[in-house]
Amino acid sequence: MDVISVIRTKRDRGELSPEQIDWVIDAYTRGDVADEQMSALAMAILLNGMNRTEIARWTAAMIASGERMDFSSLSRPTADKHSTGGVGDKITLPLAPLVAACGAAVPQLSGRGLGHTGGTLDKLESIPGWRARISNAEMLDVLESTGAVICAAGDGLAPADKKLYALRDVTGTVEAIPLIASSIMSKKIAEGTGSLVLDVKVGSGAFMKTVEDARELAATMVGLGTDHGVRTVALLTDMATPLGLTAGNALEVRESVEVLAGGGPADVVELTLALAREMLTAAGLPDADPAKALADGSAMDVWRRMIAAQGGDPDAALPVARERQVVTAPASGVLTRLDAYDIGVAAWRLGAGRARKEDVVQAGAGVELHAKPGDVVTAGQPLLTLHTDTPEKFDYALESLTASYDIAPAGTEFTPAPIVLDRVG
């Protein structure tokens, strides 16, 4: 077996054999296949796709590259959630402690930013002292004591995915449906959760731009989970507009705490509750009331214990960027579009994301939104505020915002898209 023949098979639109898939995943994990060679194969997969048999085998090979976890010793049923990535998508932060407050255990293995989308671990690392990396034993301890944990996958869990995940981020191959599905499901299946709810984003700020593509990805992942004995459902949710009013690491943590305190933007609260209900039902707790857990402060209590259990200080001040620049509305009227992708690119360019695997993100960088589609705006009022420690990045970020919004004449009727577009599984 050699990597060139594997690349050529997929380059020429052929079907990879089980032996080819097993070999190339194992060889890449061991370092016998170089990054540039796997980059070529990933691009061939992006351009030519994989059938269900190939995706299933690719996922199984990723799982087999490492260990599998076991949460059967926990006193609670387990439920996990995964988002395919969006702009302003801070939902995991309030969701995990909320579901835990309702009686489930949430072993949330999360990742870092991919392209223009933010990463949960990058956000939480803006909290002073908080650690993304904990041992399996610590993870079990935190789950038993608090009910929720958000952390990085250990080195032993699907190590092939860890390498490939970082490579996809910097080679323009993030959007490949087979690679998205296998990346997500290899970690989630190896993680050992009893049930899984997928938040599959749709729209300009998502990797899936159309409902049809999102439904294909959702069905692929639901099938993979079901085949491995994990109760799996997926919600297709709107990502044409950023979620909430912030895109950036510390900015989104601050907004998540507002949600846990009983406030926060309506769209973030709505989606958090919708996903919580799906997770609790999948975990066998359909009668639990997540809205009550937000209102009575029990979700906030879990958040504080969860952050402290991983070394973080829930009372510490969050980082603030040194420089700001305001973008004002050029006309009066009704804001009818605020493009999620453009906002995500601006946040990335301001320092909230990475251009290379080794880049360090800025905790305070990002974009703050002062209006959402449907809001009435007045010429000259603040529309966006850009945050960064490096003011030379402002012009580069502003380039992505030149056509990022539309303002219609006053009196224009506008009906926002629903947050939840469909359900699969």
Considering only CA atoms, which of 343, 167, 136, 172 is closest in space to residue 245? 343
**Domain coverage including residue 383:** 323-408
Single-letter code of the amino acid located at 48: N
- Residue 127 and residue 243 in one domain: yes
The reported pLDDT for the residue numbered 117 is 84
Q: Which of 10, 57, 81, 82 is catalytic?
A: 82
* Catalytic member of 122, 161, 169, 238: 161
Residues 165 and 244 in one domain: yes
Query: Rounded to the nearest 10 degrees, what angle do helices 211-227 and 177-191 cross at?
Result: 30
Cα three-residue angle 29-31-33, rounded to 5 degrees: 95
What are the angstrom distances between the C-alpha of 211 and each of 206, 216, 412?
11, 9, 27
Q: Is residue 75 part of a domain?
A: no
Residues 18 and 102 in one domain: no
Cα distances (Å, whole numbers) of residue 151 to 124, 168, 191, 247, 295: 9, 21, 12, 21, 26
**pLDDT tens, residue by residue, 288-317:** 999 999 999 999 999 999 999 999 999 999
Give the model's pLDDT for residue 423.
97
Residue 332 and residue 244 share a domain: no
In a domain, 57, yes or no: no
CA dihedral 186, 190, 194, 200 (to 10 degrees): -20
Q: How wide is the angle at C-alpha 344 spanned by C-alphas 342 and 348, nearest 5°?
A: 115
Whether 11 and 160 share a structural domain: no
Question: Tokens 């944990």 label which residue?
Answer: 149
Please tell me which residue in 39, 83, 110, 183 is annotated as part of the active site.
183
Query: Which letter, b or e, does each residue of 324-355 get, where b requires 16 or more Cβ atoms within 10 Å of its Cβ?
Result: ebebebeeebbbbbbbbbbbbbbbbbbbbbbe
* Domain annotation covers residue 18: yes
d(CA 64, CA 266): 41
CA dist 1 → 17, 24, 28, 195 (Å): 11, 9, 13, 37
Q: Give the model's pLDDT for residue 112.
A: 82
Q: 90, 187, 188, 231: which is the annotated catalytic residue?
A: 187
Residue 21 lies in a domain: yes
What CATH number corresponds to the domain at position 374? 3.90.1170.30
Q: What is the CATH number of the domain that holds 265?
A: 3.40.1030.10
Judge residue 137's burial from the number of C-beta atoms within 10 Å of its C-beta, 0-12 exposed, 13-18 middle, 19 or more buried.
exposed
**Catalytically annotated residue among 123, 162, 168, 387:** 168
pLDDT of residue 357: 66
- Is 231 a known active-site residue? no
| Angstrom distance (rounded) from CA 179 to CA 37 | 16
230 & 279 share domain: yes
Contact between 222 and 231 under an 8 Å Cβ cutoff? The reply is no
- Whether 65 maps to a domain, the answer reads no
* 344: its two tokens: 């995500």
In tens digits, what is the pLDDT along the chain, a chain of 425 residues? Answer: 899 999 999 999 999 999 999 999 999 999 999 999 999 999 999 999 999 899 999 999 999 999 989 898 999 999 999 998 899 999 999 999 999 999 999 999 888 877 788 899 999 999 999 999 999 899 999 999 999 999 988 778 889 998 998 898 789 898 888 998 999 899 899 988 999 999 999 999 998 999 999 999 999 999 999 888 899 999 999 999 999 999 999 999 999 999 999 999 999 999 999 999 999 999 999 999 999 999 999 999 999 999 999 999 999 999 999 999 999 999 999 999 999 999 999 999 999 988 776 788 999 999 999 999 999 999 999 999 999 999 999 999 999 999 999 999 999 999 989 999 999 98
Q: Judge if 347 and 262 occupy the same domain.
A: no
Q: Which of 286, 309, 332 is the last residue of a domain?
A: 309
Q: Is residue 419 part of a domain?
A: no
Q: Which CATH number fits the domain that encloses residue 31?
A: 1.20.970.10
What dihedral angle (degrees, nearest 10) is formed by the CA atoms of 308, 311, 313, 317?
-150
387 part of the active site: no
Same domain, 302 and 348: no
Asked whether residue 196 falls in the same domain as residue 290, the answer is: yes
Q: Would residue 228 show up in a list of annotated catalytic residues for this protein?
A: no
Q: How many domains does the chain have?
A: 3
Residue 7 maps to a domain: yes
- Half-sphere exposure of 205 toward its Cβ, with a 13 Å CA cutoff? 31
255 and 377 fall within a common domain:
no
To which H or E segment does residue 318 belong? none
Residues 93 and 159 occupy one common structural domain: yes
Question: Per the domain annotation, does 97 fall within a domain?
Answer: yes
Query: Tell me: the pLDDT tens digits for 160-188?
Result: 998 998 898 789 898 888 998 999 899 89
